[in-house]
Structure 1
């Protein structure tokens, strides 16, 4: 019997047993889910009308079958659009969240480096970094929430390396996980925290600089991909509006068959294009 894949939770308990965000999981709220789904449904339905609208017309006049087919294709293509586009939306939200966390984590390391440079011990360094981050970000921002949880753990005699490991495991970011591991070893062995954190900050900053450079060079390619994805729909819509003979050909069984094949190729090309421009730095 095949085992069902265990669903990941949006929140994971920290060593303090407080529910903390799992950055690998994004679950939109009810309002957001409905709004985004409705938007994709309407866009998909309109695209369906471009390719499959006004079938079964007689002498240039719409029949009952025309209206029924319009509703069916609007709903079917709209539902397919939601099914296809919603996971892409979730993926984009996750990437934005992780990029935001990575930027904030870099600022945290910068603050820790300054604190250790002034001769602070670990607890005081984290406290000073938290106060510094509080001036840069709002209390609801990821890094402020995480730092507050770490400090709460220290106040309740929870090992700081356990708090850092919890943060790293939930972050879904290899740099944060690696830092948590290095921090644990260094803290237990009595290593130079100032050097470790400074080097980690430099490495992450360099990686982000390379990623930004790659992203800048790919911007034009992504724009071209977006434009080329929209152009086939725009061209077909323009031809249907301006050329009655062309529009009539779409309403034939052969026209429906060719449209379906074309849409399949279009969707495949779009997904393949996403893989081409999705280069991680």
Structure 2
């Protein structure tokens, strides 16, 4: 029950509506099935038979959106621990430094940002005597960000062994910053190729639509007969494989 309340609160605070996002993905999947069925087979029956293609599309898009949110929360977390580092150097305790970081992040990203939500939860947890390392690890686990989880484990070990928190946080900021710089460099290098891949993925549909529109009957030999259905099915499978390969090539993770 508490978990449901927490999820509801998070959606209200962040304006995050997974059902709305899923609906958009399902509509996109339905349009893809419509294009495949009409342009490759000229049949609404084919559209109905190809409608399950929306399922992998929704899964892929939800995964991409999750990765984008994970990367975004990583950037915000880096700024948060930089604020924590500043507070530590000013003489704050580590717990108070995280509470102070919440105010800084609200000014930087707004009260409705992901990082503000999680820092607010950390602040509430600290007031209820929940260990800080457990709260940070929970944040990393929920967001799926491995950098936050790694920081929580290192922080836990350093806290038990009496390590220098200022040095640990400074090293963490350096590591995360280097990783983000590499990701940005990769994005810059492949951004043009990514755009080219997006355009090339749309080209087959435009070609078939253009020829069908300007030369009616041109594809009649490939529609509504056994040989044509087999040939167009092979072409569709090759297109799908090419799409998956192009997405894997232009999406490089660090």
TM-score, normalising length: structure 2: 0.88
1:31 is displaced (CA, Å) by: 3.8
1:72 to 32, 45, 51: 45
Number of the residue aligned with 1:33? 22
1:246 is displaced (CA, Å) by: 2.2
2:34 to 38, 41, 45: 45
Change (3 A) 1:110 1:40: same
1:101 is displaced (CA, Å) by: 0.6
Please state whether the residue corresponding to 1:246 is helix, strand or coil.
Answer: coil
Number of the residue aligned with 1:235? 207
2:95 to 120, 123, 138: 123
Alignment of 1:189-200 (within 5 A): 189-200=161-172
Change (3 A) 1:33 1:160: closer
Please state whether the residue corresponding to 2:253 is helix, strand or coil.
Answer: coil
1:155 to 108, 116, 127: 127
Deviates further, 39-48 or 258-267: 39-48
1:213 to 185, 191, 205: 185
For the residues of structure 2 that align with 1:18 and 1:247, how far apart are their CA atoms?
55
Number of the residue aligned with 1:185? 157
For the residues of structure 2 that align with 1:100 and 1:51, how far apart are their CA atoms?
39
1:54-111 Cα distance to aligned partner (Å, 9 max, x none): xxxxxxxxxxxxxxxx32122223x133123111111111011101111110111110
1:28 is displaced (CA, Å) by: 6.3
For the residues of structure 1 that align with 2:138 and 2:216, how far apart are their CA atoms?
64
Please state whether the residue corresponding to 2:219 is helix, strand or coil.
Answer: helix
Higher helix share: 2
1:256 to 221, 226, 229: 229
Please state whether the residue corresponding to 2:129 is helix, strand or coil.
Answer: coil
Q: Which runs of 5+ in 1 are unaligned?
A: 1-10, 22-26, 54-69
8 Å CA contact 1:171–1:177 kept in 2: the answer is no
Q: Which runs of 5+ in 2 are unaligned?
A: 11-15
TM-score, normalising length: structure 1: 0.80
8 Å CA contact 1:249–1:255 kept in 2: the answer is yes
For the residues of structure 2 that align with 1:170 and 1:92, how far apart are their CA atoms?
16
Please state whether the residue corresponding to 2:245 is helix, strand or coil.
Answer: helix
Alignment of 1:162-173 (within 5 A): 162-173=134-145
How many residue pairs get aligned? The number is 246
Please state whether the residue corresponding to 2:218 is helix, strand or coil.
Answer: helix
